[in-house]
Structure 1
Amino acid sequence: MTGAEDPADVAARLTGHRVLPGSVPRGASGLAEVTLDGVGTVVVKRGSDPRSARAEAAGLRWLAGADAVRLPEVRGADDDWLVVDRVETGAATPEAAEELGRELAALHAAGVPAFGAPPPGGPADAWIGRAPMANRPGDRWPRWYAEHRVLPYLREAVDRGAMGTGDAALVERVCDRLPELAGPDRPPARLHGDLWNGNVLWGADGHVRLIDPAAHGGHRETDLAMLRLFGCPHLDRVLDAYDRADPLDDGWRGRVGLHQLFPLLVHTVLFGGGYAAQAVAAARSALRG
Structure 2
Amino acid sequence: MTGVAAVSGTRLGGTAHRVTLADGSAVVAKRHDHRSAVLAEVAGLRWLAAADAVPVPAVRGHDDEWLVVDAVATGSPSGAGAEALGRGLARLHEAGADAFGSPPPAGPVDAWIGLAPMRNTTGEDWPSWYAEHRLLPYLRTVADQGFALPEVERVCARLDELAGPAEPPARLHGDLWSGNVLWSADGRAWLIDPAAHGGHRETDLAMLHLFGCAHLDRIVAAYDETAPLAAGWRARIPLHQLFPLLVHAVLFGGGYARQAAQAARAALRG
TM-score, reference length from structure 2:
0.97
Could you give the per-residue CA deviations for residues 75-114 of structure 1, whole angstroms, max 9, x where no partner exists? 0112211001111111111111111000000000000110
* Deviations, residues 213-267 of structure 1 (Å, cap 9, x unaligned): 0000000000000000001011000000000000000000000000000000000
Which residue, out of 211, 214, 217, partners 2:192?
A: 211
Identity in percent: 64
**Residue of structure 1 aligned with 2:110, choices 125, 149, 170:** 125
1:260 aligns with: 241
Structure 2 unmatched runs, 5+:
none
- Partner Cα distance (2:234, 2:82) in 1: 19
**Structure 1 residue runs of 4 or more that deviate by more than 4 Å after TM superposition:** none
Q: CA deviation at 1:50?
A: 3.1
1:17 partner letter = V
Structure 1 Cα separation of the partners of residues 12 and 235 of structure 2: 41
Secondary structure, in 3 states, of the residue corresponding to 1:42? strand
Match of 1:56 in 2: 41
Whether the aligned pair in 1 keeps the contact of 2:98 and 2:169 (CA below 8 Å) is: yes
Counterpart mapping for 1:1-289 below 5 A? 14-20=1-7, 23-38=8-23, 40-161=25-146, 163-164=147-148, 168-289=149-270
Once the two structures are TM-superposed, the CA of residue 35 in structure 1 deviates from its matched residue by 1.3
SS at match of 2:208: helix
CA distance in 1, matches of 2:64, 2:173: 20
Q: Output the CA distance in 1 between the equivalents of 2:55 and 2:259.
A: 31
Q: TM-score, normalised by structure 1?
A: 0.91
Question: What is the rounded CA distance, in whole Å, between the counterparts of 1:80 and 1:52 in structure 2?
Answer: 9
Q: How many residues align?
A: 270
Cα distance in 2 for residues equivalent to 1:178 and 1:260? 14
2:260 aligned partner, one-letter code = A
Q: 1:39 to 1:150 in 2, by over 3 A?
A: farther
Alignment partners' CA distance in 1, 2:130 and 2:191: 24
Structure 1 residue runs of 5 or longer lacking an equivalent are 1-13
1:134 to 1:39, Cα distance in 2 relative to 1, 3 A: farther
Shift in Å, 1:39: 6.2
Counterpart-to-counterpart distance in 2, 1:108 and 1:83: 26
Give the distance between the partners of 2:13 and 2:207, measured in 1 at CA: 25
The AA in structure 1 aligned to 2:41 is E
1:25 deviates by 4.5
Q: Which has the larger radius of gyration?
A: 1
Task: Give the conservation status (yes or no) of the 8 Å contact 1:54–1:81.
Answer: no
SS of the counterpart of 1:267?
A: helix
Aligned counterparts of 1:72 and 1:24: Cα–Cα separation in 2: 18
- 1: CA distance, partners of 2:123 / 2:220: 27
- Supply the AA of the counterpart residue of 1:15: T
Do 2:84 and 2:219's aligned partners in 1 also have CA atoms closer than 8 Å? Answer: yes
Distance in 1 (alpha carbons) for counterparts of 2:9 and 2:204: 36
Amino acid aligned to 1:18: A
